[in-house]
Amino acid sequence: MLKDLDTSIRVGQHPALVCLLGICEEAAATLVVMEQGEPSLKQWLLDSRALDHQPQYAATHRRFTTAREEVLLDMVAGLASGLAHLEVCGITHGAICARNVVMTGDTGAKLGGFGMTTWSRPGEQPDCSRWLASEVLMTGQNGGKQDVWSLGVLLWEVVTLGGTPYCHLATRDLATRILRGLRLPRAPGLSDQLFQLMLACWMTDPDERPTAEELHLMLADLARSGGTELDFSLTPDFQYTPCLPELELEPVSQPARSTLL
C-alpha cells in the first residue's frame, strides 16, 4: 500500500488522471482521499449502444450510438496526455483499459488503475491480458512503450463501444497468436488514417511506436476535424462487437486486493 501511495504522490495533479486529493494520518489509521468518478468508461460505452438501449434514437437518427465521434476522439486524446504525464514521472501504468477509466461529468474521463487507484472491490479487478504488448506477453516484464500498445487497444475498445478485444480467442491462446502477428480488426466506421494510427501502436518493435505525447497531438488534431475519422452511421448489416466480461475480469475465486474505502 505504501508503494502505491508513493506512486500517487509522485503523479501529482493532471486533468486526465485519477489523482490523490489528500492524506490524513491518525493514531490508528491513515486516511487516503482519491478523486472519484462514475461510471467506468467501459459501462459508459456500453450504455451508449443505441440499438440496445435507445432503439427509437437509433431509428430516428440512423446512428448506432448516442456518443459523438469527436467527443470520443477528444476523450482518448486526453487519456494519452495523462499517459504522457506518467511517462515524465517515470511511471509505467501496465493496466490501461476502459474498466480502469472513470467518467467525470458528461464526457470527461480520467485514467485510473495505477497507484492507490488499483485497489478495487472483489470481483471488479480487470484482467488486462488482452491489452498487453507483445513483448510483455513474451517476457512478462514491463517497460518501454508497452503502455502505448495498450492505449491503442483502448482506442479500439472505444470505437467499438466497449467491445472485448480478441473476443473469439481464449486467453491462453493470446500470446502465441499475437506474437505470430495477430492484430485487432478494423472497426466499422473507422477511417484509414485512424486505423493506421492503431496499427502503429501495435508495432512489434517498441521503437517504431509513437510516443504517448505524439498520440495525444494526433488524436487531438483528429478530434478538431469534427470527428470525420469516425462515422457511427447505422448500416443494414451493422452488429456490435461482443462484450464478454468473463474474458476481461479476474476470476472471483482468486484473492482480491484490499478494498479502499
How far apart (Å, rounded) are the C-alpha atoms in residues 57 and 237?
18
What is the sign, positive or negative, of the torsion defined by CA atoms of 52, 53, 58, 59? positive
Please name the helix (run of DSSP H) or strand (run of DSSP E) that holds residue 119, with its range, or none: none
What is the CATH classification number for the domain harbouring 105? 1.10.510.10
pLDDT in tens, the chain (261 residues): 888 889 999 999 999 999 999 989 888 888 888 888 889 999 999 999 999 999 999 999 999 999 999 999 999 999 999 999 999 999 999 999 999 999 998 889 999 999 888 765 556 789 999 999 999 998 887 777 999 999 999 999 999 999 999 999 999 999 999 999 999 999 999 999 999 999 999 999 999 999 999 999 999 999 888 768 999 999 999 999 999 999 999 886 544 444 443
Is 49 part of any domain? yes
Identify the pLDDT of residue 120: 58
- Collapsing DSSP states into helix, strand and coil, what is residue 31? strand
pLDDT of residue 88: 94
Residue with cell 506512486: 7
**Please, what is the Cα angle at 83 between 34 and 103, to 5 degrees?**
50
CB atoms within 10 A of CB 128: 20
- CB-based burial label for 47 (10 Å; 0-12, 13-18, 19+): middle
What is the number of domains present in the chain? 1
Of 121, 116, 122, 202, which is closest to residue 154 (Cα–Cα)? 202
Q: Is residue 260 part of a domain?
A: no
Q: So what's the pLDDT on residue 261?
A: 39
Q: Output phi, psi for 57, to 5 deg.
A: -60, -45
In a domain, 254, yes or no: no
User: Does any domain span residue 261?
Assistant: no
H or E stretch covering 108: strand 108-111
Crossing angle of helices 69-88 and 212-224, in 10° steps, is 160
Cell of 233: 452511421
- How far is residue 12's CA from residue 54's CA, in Å, rounded to a whole number? 40
HSE of 152 in the Cβ direction (CA atoms, 13 Å)?
A: 27
pLDDT at 29: 87
Amino acid in the structure at residue 120: S
Report yes or no on 252 lying in a domain: no
- Residue 101's beta-bridge partner residues? 111
What pLDDT was estimated at residue 141? Answer: 76
In a domain, 258, yes or no: no
Q: How far apart are CA 199 and CA 69, in angstroms?
A: 20
47 domain residue, yes or no: yes
Residue ranges with strand state E in 26-76? 30-34
Domain that holds residue 146: 2-20+31-247
Q: Does some domain include residue 26?
A: no
